[in-house]
Amino acid sequence: MSVRERGGLLRSRDFRLLWTGETTSVLGSSIAVVALPLVAVVALQASTFAVGLLTAAAWLPWLLIGLPAGAWVDRRPKRPIMLACNTFSMLVFLSVPVAAWFGLLTMTQLLVVAFVGGVAKVFFNVAYRAYLPSLVDKEQLQEANEKLQGSESAAQIGGPGLAGLLAQGFGAVTGVLADAVSFGISVLCLRSIRYREPARPAGPRSRLRDEIREGLAFVVHDPYLRVFAVFGAVSNVALMGYQSIEVVFLARDLGVGPGAVGLVLALVGAGGVFGAALSGKLAARIGTARAFVLCEGFGALMMLLGPLANGGWGLAFFVAAGFALSAGVVGSNVLNATFKQRYVPAAMFGRVTASMSVLSFGAIALGGLLGGFLGEVAGVRQTLGLMAGLEVVAVFALLFTPIGRRRDFPADRV
């Protein structure tokens, strides 16, 4: 039974459970995004490059297993995959505080945890994105994505602040424990969902290699998905090159304490709530494609303010840049996700999503490495400026693509 038949999104028990579980998991992950670098910087005295390597390790699995994961997920029910991934992630991240309590924590373990947790995230994300269109009617996808992205952004506001407070009061490793607990809560919510996906029609199954090739071909030959994949890759190099060293910039270059680092990043994350709430209204007024480009452009231009930040009131530049960037990215993500969920055939959604994500998310690993390397060699502030400039160039190039020339994204493909 669909959400529409049950009386709408907020009256649907299953959607509320999915919403609660995913929001809780994102809260834990946003704590860990700050906590893991803080553990590396404060407890293990890691270099700037090593901190960037943490980000790269978390996203490298997209390059290694993204394509077969998409084809594999398309063959199976999505909820059991999501349950298995979050259970596994809970155990992996729990190993960090356990090792720290026994005095055995090393940078090598942090890198392994980031990588193995990234593997689970690949399968979870592909399954999650394919699961939502089966749970929610097409007409409600925009609203569903706004609610999910909005609450996830709200969780990302509280996460960094909570990570800073936990680090200040109990040590940075406590934030990683909170991430493990959040995965456990998500597992409980997913197990309580009553909706079951319809079984796939029986028939001869293609070889995995052929299904992977089919998903790649779908993206390569589609003028809109191809642009999204390439733009996402370039943009993610810039964004992650910037974000992978922002904790180092705040803690070392500006001398901001752990608690204040969390507060600053919480203020930055507040922009995501604003972007999610505004995206639908903006799309209705100027068109979905134009709204996407406007969100991206606004965030990119404001990003240039970040490297101008200094201590004291000079932090306002960093907060303003981050707030605007978060608003732009989350707003464009809502529009992008809704378009793909309406446009891509359900039977191919996992493969198409994975094909695009291998390029765009794999670029996050490159961005983390590049940010750490350049931050070590050229300086953290200079690297932030370089990444902001790259993001502006990527958005400007978007204007000359089929997406940049449209008012609205195209109607359903099927």
Looking up residue 124, the CATH number of its domain turns out to be: 1.20.1250.20
Distance in Å from the first CA to the final CA of the chain: 22
Can you give the pLDDT at residue 200? 62
Give a yes or no: residue 305 inside a domain.
Answer: yes
Do 299 and 166 fall into the same domain?
A: no
The pLDDT tens digits for 69-119 are 777 777 778 888 889 989 998 998 999 889 888 888 888 898 999 899 888
Between 1 and 50, the more confident residue is: 50
pLDDT band at residue 414 under the 50/70/90 scheme: very low
Average pLDDT for the chain: 81
pLDDT interval class at 177 (50, 70, 90): confident
Of 314 and 3, more confident: 314
Same domain, 271 and 291: yes
Residue with tokens 């055995």: 104
The neighbour count for residue 146, using CB atoms within 10 Å, is 24
For the cut 70, the answer to whether the pLDDT of residue 191 exceeds it is yes
Rounded to 5°, angle at Cα 283 from 281 and 286: 110
Quote the number of domains for the chain: 2
Q: What is the pLDDT of residue 206?
A: 63
State how far the alpha carbon of 290 is from the alpha carbons of 279, 313, 326, in Å.
11, 35, 18
Question: Each residue of 193-213: pLDDT tens digit?
Answer: 888 777 665 555 566 677 777
* pLDDT of amino acid 390: 93
Helix (H, G, I), strand (E, B) or coil at 408: coil
In a domain, 201, yes or no: no
Domain of residue 180: give its range. 11-196
What are phi and psi for residue 86, nearest 5 degrees? Answer: -70, -30
Residue carrying the six token digits 């001398």: 255
C-alpha–C-alpha distance, residues 323 and 327, integer Å: 6
- 154, 67: one domain: yes
Closest CA to 132 of 121, 122, 146: 146
Do 320 and 216 lie in one domain? The reply is yes
Q: Which of 163, 196, 229 is the last residue of a domain?
A: 196
Q: Which of 196, 223, 256 is the last residue of a domain?
A: 196
Q: What is the pLDDT of residue 159?
A: 67
Whether 377 is in a domain gets the answer yes
Q: Is the pLDDT of residue 274 over 90?
A: no
Residue 371: Cβ within 10 Å count: 32
Report, as an integer, the average pLDDT of 318-335. 88
